[in-house]
């Protein structure tokens, strides 16, 4: 099974939104649907969105996965902003999960992010899964969430050695991740087949 990766195009938008909906619809502990497909839609128009890191994975010319990145930041104790990036959602159609698609998308785009000159990636993710890509607990970098917390799922990956040397403080992701109105999600969901 050959996995091809390319940038998302405008012609892919609906298909990517639908595959994201399929990937997240019945997530463990959340049986009432999802909002990640609406997040995908909103991200594309957000000023923090990084179009150069919006990739799809294909098998036999069928889009089976997607990863999107946006800018985020660390604000240090002197109130100086240091730009870094985050990714999410990472989506793979349920039929194609556990076949290496997500792994390939993440590895490929981390390398692209490095080539584009970004210093680090900050995520909220599964602490047993993401260390294989170089992610470490944000505590190791003396970085907390925007509200001063740390927990296992809050992780950072430096894209080159000592990329965050001398930088500590609070991490902030784009407001678009928090600005998903439930009524807007319901309205947006009408574009897709009922579940």
**Distance separating alpha carbons of residues 30 and 21, to the nearest angstrom:** 13
Residue-wise pLDDT for 23-39, tens only, equals 998 665 555 678 999 99
Q: What is the pLDDT of residue 95?
A: 94
Query: Three-state DSSP class for 149?
Result: coil
Q: How many alpha carbons lie under 13 Å from residue 43 in its C-beta half-sphere?
A: 28
DSSP assignment letter at 100: S
DSSP assignment letter at 118: -
**Distance separating alpha carbons of residues 118 and 81, to the nearest angstrom:** 14
Residue given tokens 């999802």 in the structure block: 34
Residue-wise pLDDT for 57-69, tens only, equals 999 999 999 999 9
Residue given tokens 């497909």 in the structure block: 37
Q: How sure is the predictor about 195, in pLDDT bands with cuts at 50, 70 and 90?
A: confident
Residue-wise pLDDT for 140-156, tens only, equals 999 999 999 999 999 99
Q: What is the pLDDT of residue 63?
A: 98
Q: What is the pLDDT of residue 30?
A: 59
Average pLDDT over the chain, rounded to an integer: 94
Q: What is the pLDDT of residue 194?
A: 87
**Distance separating alpha carbons of residues 24 and 155, to the nearest angstrom:** 21
| Distance in angstroms between the alpha carbons of the first and the last residue of the chain | 30
Residue-wise pLDDT for 1-27, tens only, equals 899 999 999 999 999 999 999 999 866
């Amino acid at each position: 099974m050959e996995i091809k990766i390319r940038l998302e195009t405008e012609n892919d938008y609906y298909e990517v939104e639908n595959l994201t909906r399929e990937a997240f619809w019945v997530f463990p502990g959340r049986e009432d649907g999802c909002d990640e497909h609406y997040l995908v839609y909103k991200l594309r128009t957000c000023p923090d969105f990084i179009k150069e890191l919006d990739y799809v994975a294909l098998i036999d010319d069928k889009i089976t996965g997607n990863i999107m990145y946006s800018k985020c930041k660390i604000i240090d104790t002197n109130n100086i902003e240091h730009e870094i990036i985050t990714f999410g959602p990472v989506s793979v159609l349920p039929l194609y999960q556990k076949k290496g698609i997500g792994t390939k998308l993440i590895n490929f785009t981390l390398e692209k992010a490095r080539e584009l000159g970004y210093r680090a990636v900050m995520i909220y993710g599964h602490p047993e899964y993401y260390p294989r890509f170089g992610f470490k607990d944000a505590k190791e970098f003396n970085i907390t969430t925007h509200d001063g917390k740390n927990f296992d799922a809050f992780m950072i990956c430096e894209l080159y050695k000592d990329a965050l040397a001398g930088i500590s403080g609070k991490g902030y992701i784009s407001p678009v991740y928090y600005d998903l109105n439930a009524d807007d999600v319901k309205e947006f969901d009408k574009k897709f087949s009922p579940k």
